């Protein structure tokens, strides 16, 4: 089974180029040289959920992640371009990855799940796991947009809404960790019912810690 069977209507965004850690990856965005329908900038914005095949032979696991940073690189200009993401993004997204103008995105993995293989099923995954994925994502693995229903289902572990990954996520996203958690919470506010209080508490907790770290609160 391939991810295209499980997620036949998902859009390919790019491919994995390197990793900074077990849960922090860099991907190159597809262009019109690579695809007939390349992604638009609105397809890989800050906080965009993504899904990736885990790469295990005869296995159905997928990794779920979010875009935490973006950089435009032109090697002819020294590899410096506008960035959106954590401090140190220019160190992580190395110009040596590309030999022509390219957009790179940083992807933080939130966890993994088992693909159901049923394209008629709106969520398309089961047994979500918010622990660090055991297996690495292979070089060249295609990154796809994650459907909203899949992203919502991923956040329900044993029947309850969970963002157990968020301490790790704020570490990866750095300065913009609170904003990234906020972007995820906003998506969940729109797609879930009855969990507004929990999501508000998580947002306030992360925002408070970010303000302390930034010296806004003493």
**160-195 pLDDT tens trace:** 999 999 999 999 998 889 899 999 999 999 999 999
pLDDT, residue 77, reads: 63
Structure tokens, 161: 């809404």
Predicted TM-score (pTM) above 0.75: yes
Rounded Cα distance, 58 and 6, in Å: 14
Rounded Cα distance, 149 and 134, in Å: 24
Is residue 43 a contact partner of residue 69, using CB atoms and an 8 Å limit? no
pLDDT, residue 104, reads: 94
Averaged pLDDT, groups of 10, the chain, 218 residues long: 76 94 96 88 96 74 95 70 49 56 94 81 86 91 94 94 93 90 93 93 86 66
**134-157 pLDDT tens trace:** 888 999 999 999 999 999 999 999
pLDDT, residue 218, reads: 46
Is residue 30 a contact partner of residue 40, using CB atoms and an 8 Å limit? no
Q: Which residues lie closer than 8 Å to 32 by C-beta, 6 or more apart?
A: 38
pLDDT, residue 26, reads: 96
Rounded Cα distance, 174 and 34, in Å: 31
Percent helix / strand / coil, the chain, rounded to 5: 30, 30, 40
Query: How large is the angle between the packed helices 196-213 and 166-173, nearest 10 degrees?
Result: 40
Residue in this structure with the two tokens 């110009």, named with its chain if needed: 95
pLDDT, residue 90, reads: 43
Separation in Å, CA 70 to CA 32, 147, 192, 196, 216: 19, 21, 28, 29, 26
pLDDT, residue 210, reads: 76
Separation in Å, CA 127 to CA 153, 188, 200: 9, 18, 25
């Amino acid at each position: 089974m391939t991810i295209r069977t499980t997620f036949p209507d998902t859009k390919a965004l790019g491919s994995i180029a390197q990793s900074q850690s077990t849960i922090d990856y860099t991907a190159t965005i597809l262009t019109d040289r690579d695809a007939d329908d390349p992604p638009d900038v609105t397809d890989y914005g800050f906080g965009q959920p993504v899904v990736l095949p885990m790469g295990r032979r005869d296995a159905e696991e997928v990794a779920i992640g979010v875009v935490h940073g973006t950089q435009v690189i032109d090697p002819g200009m020294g590899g410096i371009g506008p960035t959106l993401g954590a401090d140190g993004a220019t160190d992580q997204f190395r110009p040596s990855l590309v030999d022509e103008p390219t957009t790179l995105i940083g992807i933080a993995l939130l966890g993994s799940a088992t693909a159901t293989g049923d394209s008629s099923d709106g969520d398309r995954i089961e047994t979500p796991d918010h622990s660090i994925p055991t297996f690495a994502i292979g070089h060249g693995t295609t990154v796809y947009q994650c459907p909203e229903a899949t992203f919502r289902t991923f956040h329900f572990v044993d029947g309850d809404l969970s963002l157990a990954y968020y301490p790790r996520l704020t570490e990866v996203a750095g300065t913009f960790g609170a904003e990234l958690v906020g972007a995820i919470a906003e998506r969940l506010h729109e797609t879930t019912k009855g969990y507004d209080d929990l999501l508000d508490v998580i947002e306030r907790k992360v925002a408070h810690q970010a303000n302390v770290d930034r010296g806004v609160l003493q």
